[in-house]
Chains A and B, each alone.
Chain A
């Protein structure tokens, strides 16, 4: 399963590296891409053509596809919940 994760400065600032590591540790093939241009959704991961974000322990794990969720032991604690989107 290929997971594409942004590598731009803002994605890094909200923990994209830790998210990428978590997916890699879960056995996913992680590909870093430049920028999605949708900062409010970062860390944004694309799985099989669908985007999910912000990915983090509180907000997005339940919305991930079941087969991904079951492989991820734990998502990293990243500042992934924009305060204005609760």
Chain B
């Protein structure tokens, strides 16, 4: 389906809902892989918002991407608690395992501070990771 039609359909799906912007952005990214400038403009027009309003929200949340990237993503938490539990020592092995196939992303934080190091792949979170577990997670992504 044409991109514009996809976005139109998503906006229609959330019409009348209170606070529709974030659900729309999530759906657009899920279906198109990104929320680019054209999508922002179309969503802004559909919701009667300014492009600046929409771009402000999109750029505030790091999970939204401006360009589609089909590679699987593994998010590694490198906030204070996970650093204290040694995540920095695990990162080189994770990078080596990821290569160009998996996109590694640093995040702050996954809310699993009491059991770091923590990582997220898709909708699953993983905690108490050691090097072998993190490498296995990256290789299985």
Taking Cβ atoms with an 8 Å cutoff, the residues of A that contact B are: 9-10, 12-14, 39-40, 42, 79-83
Chain B interface residue count, Cβ-Cβ cutoff 8 angstroms:
14
Instruction: Tell yes or no: B114 within 8 A of A by CB.
Output: yes
Chain B contacts of A40 at CB under 8 A?
114-115
Min CB–CB distance B125 → chain A (angstroms): 4
Chain B contacts of A82 at CB under 8 A?
115, 128
| Complex CA–CA separation, A79 to B131 (angstroms) | 12
In the complex, which of the residues A9, A39, A80, A83 contacts B130, with contact meaning CB atoms closer than 8 Å? A83
| Complex CA–CA separation, A82 to B129 (angstroms) | 9
Min CB–CB distance A7 → chain B (angstroms): 13
Chain A contacts of B125 at CB under 8 A?
9, 12-13
- Nearest B residue to A78 via CB reads B128
6 contacts between A and B (CB under 8 A): A9-B111, A12-B125, A13-B126, A14-B126, A42-B115, A79-B127
Instruction: Tell yes or no: B133 within 8 A of A by CB.
Output: yes
